[in-house]
Chain A
Amino acid sequence: MANLHTKICGVEFKNPVIAASGTFGFGKEFNEIFDISVLGGISTKGLTLEPRLGNPTPRIAEGRGVILNAVGLQNPGVDKFLEEDLDFLKSKNIVIIANVAGKTLEDYAGICARLDGLVDMIELNISCPNVKCGGMAFGIRPESVEQVTHAAKSALKKTPLIVKLSPNVESIAANALAAQKGGADCVSLINTLTGMAIDIERRRPIIANNTGGVSGAGVKPVAVRMTYEVCSAVSIPVIGMGGITCAEDALEFIIAGASAVQVGTANFTDTLAMPKIIAGLNAWLDAHGVADINELRGTLQLNG
């Protein structure tokens, strides 16, 4: 068995496979199918200070190799998460990453202050494409990325801060640098790509919100390229995601420089996708005589 143990910002992960925000709730439902303590970590459903009902339905559509979603940050609010879900996640001995969103700088600072010291890491969602006030306004330009990162970081005394980056921008590497400058301890990418699917009979978008975030196997090449660009630009750790379906996919991100990966849409196609990816990583490393997954990180060599 190879070593899958990974350390990011001083936080110990038993393996580098993390459930991506929005696809895994707070872990309880998937735990009915498999013991989620096998995971490296979980990034929670996006939390806001107050409960939110989210967008009208339909909230999901499909293309070949991809899905589109526009849930719109439905969540029970941070207090209910702390009351009803945190203890369960703690009992699972996995890294708990609270994914948080807001409308204003004060919202971001407020929710970070509320969670400081209570979870292992905080992931700032400044790139939700599906709500008008989901933080996307902060996620587009480097100046505002730095500003919101700084506001969040200033509210945190104990918990490391991850900033989740949008791919729907001019330069994701510039935004990653802006997050680093704003005080981010880590960046994660990519959030979903904005897309649309049309019902030709009704001549209307399938999703009630009209547009939705595209994710799934089909976005992986874009995500790998962006992960490589960001890893080349910043000195803080990077968590990669986008279309990861199997261990080999995860290894592409690690070789591109990611410290860990998140898995989202694959959980919909196979509820056991993540345990299979973890087992697959072990098998691949053993078969290739690699004793430690950390040896692979950032080993990409570009063609002449």
Chain B
Amino acid sequence: MKELTVTVVGNEEIAPGIFEIDFQLPEDIFFRCGQFVNLSVGDGLHLLRRPFAVLFYDKNTRTAGVCYQVKGEGTKLLSQRKEGDKLTCVIPLGNGFILKEEEKRVALIGGGVGVFPLLSVLGEYKDSDKHFRSYMGFRSAAYVNTFGMYDKRSDALFVATDDGSFGKKGTSVSLFFEDFEQAKPDVIFACGPTPMLRALKAGLSERGIGVPCYVSLEERMGCGIGACLVCVCHKTGGEANVRVCKDGPVFEIGEVEI
């Protein structure tokens, strides 16, 4: 992880209230899919950086991107940053998604802005012998925009919307369980809102599915590097805490309380 000043190369609204900001790094980093960046919003008055999953990192151009939803003052300010603006950050952070050699069939389950950390998995393994089946859930058709990437890189893409305005009416988790027998995944990667992850955990348990499942968690952060103990969650059993920023953000689904 490095403290770097980066230069914005693009910042566009890709769906209602959801932006992709791309920035160039002054030096190369070693990036693994599922890792995140703790990014300043660039005004000096907002002292906390915002942790966002890195969508992609292109070594050749030293360019990285993140997608974010405008939710409060900080993300609103970030959405106003223009090409050429400088932002500071610490990158890369966290453990990321790790695929073992023998894990060939991968299920990606994403909900809402939780689809973005999973895009980096597809990016990293695009020329590999891994096979992906992606299950993505969105609020409505308007939010499905730009997820063509899944289509190109996944063997199969299943999309659900809450209101049925695109794909199936339902959730990414319901899509996954409907397809499970056909997919026979060796491993599951998931990211999304807490109710979605709870439904996934419960569904796996009810069906007695023992496939390894890793989830990327979100929590309000302070330092982002593991020092301040702000972004913790309980380990299963509640006897100890783990730090989302340093021990995660990716955890085995049974390891933590969701």
Contact = CB atoms under 8 A, between A and B. Distances in A.
Interface string A2-34: 000000000000000000001111000110111
Interface string B51-83: 000000000000000000000001000000000
B232 A25 contact: no
A165 to B, nearest CB: 22
A191 to B, nearest CB: 15
A24 B3 contact: no
Contact-size category for B: 20 to 34
B78 to A, nearest CB: 13
Nearest to B239: A53
B49 to A, nearest CB: 7
Given A64-B46, A267-B223, A57 B231 contact: yes
A75 B240 CA distance: 10
Given A53-B240, A217-B47, A268-B47, A22 B225 contact: no
Nearest to A74: B229
A61 B228 CA distance: 14
B222 interface: yes
Contacts of A265: 47
B215 interface: no
B231 A62 contact: no
A104 to B, nearest CB: 24
Interface string B65-108: 00000000010000000000000101000000000000000000
Contacts of A33: 1-3, 90, 225
Contacts of B230: 57, 59-60, 69, 71
Interface in A29-48: 29-30, 32-34, 45
Majority SS at the chain B contact face: loop
Interface string B202-238: 0000000000000000011111111111111110001
Nearest to A216: B47
B229 A45 contact: yes
Contact of B225 (A30, A57, A66, A71): A30
Interface residues of A, number: 36
Contacts of A216: 47
Nearest to A199: B72
A303 interface: no
Contact of A23 (B220, B221, B223): B223
The 10 A-B residue pairs with the shortest CB-CB distance, nearest first, are: A25-B227, A29-B226, A58-B220, A29-B227, A29-B225, A64-B45, A271-B3, A60-B230, A59-B230, A269-B47
Interface of B: 1-3, 40, 45-49, 74, 88, 90, 219-234, 238, 240-241, 246
Interface of A: 22-25, 29-30, 32-34, 45, 53-54, 57-62, 64-67, 69, 71, 74-75, 216-217, 265-272
Given A54-B232, A57-B233, A62-B47, 13 more contacts: A29-B225, A33-B90, A58-B219, A60-B231, A67-B48, A74-B229, A217-B47, A266-B47, A267-B223, A268-B223, A269-B47, A270-B88, A271-B223
